[in-house]
Chain A
C-alpha cells in the first residue's frame, strides 16, 4: 500500500470522532477541571515566593497547559484498543490487508489526536489564557524550535505507547501495560513536576530518557529555559531517540507477526 493512501485513515479517524459529541464536552469539562486543579496546586506552591530556581508562577501556569493536555496526551484508549485487537484476534483482519499495521496505527492516532487537540485542548487553552493568562514563547526562535519539539514529542509518545501496546502479543493484556506506562510517565515525562524542580541526580537520569522529550524538553524550550544551542542539541538527541525507538518497533513487529496467538473466534 502506498504511503500516500495512509492519510485517508487520519481523515476517517478524525471524522468518526465527530459522531461522539458528548465525549467532546465532557472531555473538555474534565480537562478544564484538571487543568485548573494543577494551576491551583502551583499557585499554592508559589505562595510567598516570587521565583523558585528562576521559575515564576506564570511560567508554571503555561507549563501546566503545554506539558499536560497539549503534549502528554492520554494513551489509555489507544493502548487498550490495540490490546483488545490482539486479544480478540481482530488484528488478523489488518494483517490480511495490504497495509503496514504500525503505520495504520500511526495515521489513525494522528486523526484521533488532532480531533482531541482541536476540540478539547484548544478550547481549554483559550479559557485558561483568558482566565489567568498564558505566556508567549520566549523568542521567535524558541517558538519555531518548539514546533519541531512538538513533532518529536508526539512521535515519541506514539512510539512509547505503541511499543507498550505491542507487548500485549506476549502478555495478552494491555490493561496492566497501560497502568505501568501511566506510572512511569507521571514521573519521567515531567508532565506533573518539571525536571528543574527534581533532585539533581534524579533529574540527570530522567533527562537522558526518552520520556523527557514528551513533556519536559518541549515545554522548557517554549519557556526559554534552554538556550538555543542547548535546545538544538537536545532536539538532535530526541531525534536519535526517535530513530532508536523506530528501530526497536520495526524489530519487535517483525517478530510479533510470527508469534500471534488468536484467541477470539
Chain B
C-alpha cells in the first residue's frame, strides 16, 4: 500500500509535466472552458433578471448552486472523466490489457496517470462565482456549516468520480460505454437547476437512480435553509453519505467488470 502511495505523486507529476510542455494550449483551454460555462450562466442570469426567481431561488442563490455544481463536478471529474470516457477505446484497441499487467491497481493507474489539470478554468470560475454569491447572501457561517460545506463538496466530488467510474467500467463488459455519458450529462444539466421545479418522478430519479440532485442542489439548499423535496430533514445527512455510498457501489461494479473482462482488441 505504501509503495502505491509513493508511486501516485510520480504518476501525477509525469502527467502534469506533459501538460506543462504546452502551457499556451493549457491556458487557452482554461480560459475557453471558463468562457463556455460563463455563457451558460449568463443566460441563466438573464432569465432571472427578467423573472426575478426560479422556483423561489434568486440569482445570488442560483449562482451559489451553479458554483457548487461546477466545483464538485470539476474535482470529481479531474480523476475520472477523460480517463473513463476513453475506456471503450482502450478496450477496443487492447491497450487496457497493458494496464492490467502493471504492478499497480488499474483504477489507481488510470485515475492518477491521467489526473486532468485542464479543469483549472472550471475551478477558477466556480470559486470566483462562489465568492461573489456568498458575499451577496447573508449566510450565517458557523463552524458546523463550514464543515458541512467542505464535507458535502467532497461527497459530491466522490459521487461524480464514482458515477464516471461505473460508466467507464461498463466498457469492460459491453465494449461500448461512451453513449452512457450522454445520459449522464442529460441529468447533469438538470442538476444545475432547483430540484423543486421538476415533476415529482424526475425529482425521485434525481435522488435515486440518477442521484445528481446531490451534486449541488441538496447541499446548497441545506446551506441556504431551503426545503428539500422528498428528503426533508434527512437531506443534510444524506448529502454526506451519498458520496461514500456510491464509491462503495462503484468499487463493487469495477471489480465485477474486471472479473468478467475478456478483452476485445488484439
Contact = CB atoms under 8 A, between A and B. Distances in A.
B21 to A, nearest CB: 13
B35 interface: yes
Contacts of A33: 183, 186-187, 189-190
Interface string B207-243: 0000000000000000000000000000000000000
Interface in B15-42: 25, 28-29, 31-33, 35-40, 42
A3 interface: no
Given A30-B183, A34-B186, A177 B197 contact: no
B193 A37 contact: yes
B36 A30 contact: no
A175 B39 contact: no
A4 interface: no
Contact of B179 (A27, A31, A36, A37): A27
Contacts of A240: none
B180 interface: yes
Nearest to B184: A30
A45 B51 contact: yes
Given A26-B179, A176-B25, A198 B46 contact: yes
B240 to A, nearest CB: 26
Contact of B32 (A30, A46, A175): A175
A184 B37 CA distance: 10
B170 to A, nearest CB: 11
B186 A197 contact: no
Contacts of B179: 20, 22-23, 25-27
A197 B46 contact: yes
Interface residues of B, number: 38
Contacts of B43: 186-187, 192-193
B186 A187 contact: no
B50 interface: yes
Contacts of A126: none
Contact of A183 (B38, B44, B46, B180): B38
Contacts of B132: none
B176 interface: yes
A186 B42 contact: yes
A109 interface: no
B128 to A, nearest CB: 15
B180 A26 contact: yes
B40 A192 contact: yes
A184 B186 contact: no
A171 B44 CA distance: 31
A186 B39 contact: yes
Interface in B42-77: 42-44, 46-47, 49-51, 54-55
A41 B193 contact: yes
B46 A37 contact: no
Contacts of A20: 179
Contacts of B101: none
A52 B51 contact: yes
B199 interface: yes
Given A26-B182, A30-B182, A180-B35, A44 B54 contact: yes
A176 B39 contact: no
B185 interface: yes
Interface string A36-77: 110011011110000010000000000000000000000000
A100 interface: no
A173 B29 contact: yes
B198 interface: yes
Nearest to B194: A44
Contacts of B197: 40-41, 43-44
Nearest to B47: A193
A37 B202 CA distance: 9
Given A41-B193, A45-B47, A52-B51, A179 B33 contact: yes
B39 A197 contact: no
In the A-B complex, list the 6 residue pairs whose CB atoms are closest, starting with the nearest.
Answer: A183-B39, A30-B186, A26-B179, A33-B186, A186-B39, A176-B32
7 contacts: A30-B183, A31-B186, A33-B190, A176-B31, A182-B39, A192-B40, A193-B46
Given A185-B39, A197-B46, A199-B46, 16 more contacts: A25-B179, A26-B179, A29-B182, A30-B183, A33-B189, A37-B189, A40-B197, A43-B197, A45-B47, A52-B50, A172-B25, A175-B32, A176-B29, A183-B32, A184-B39, A186-B40
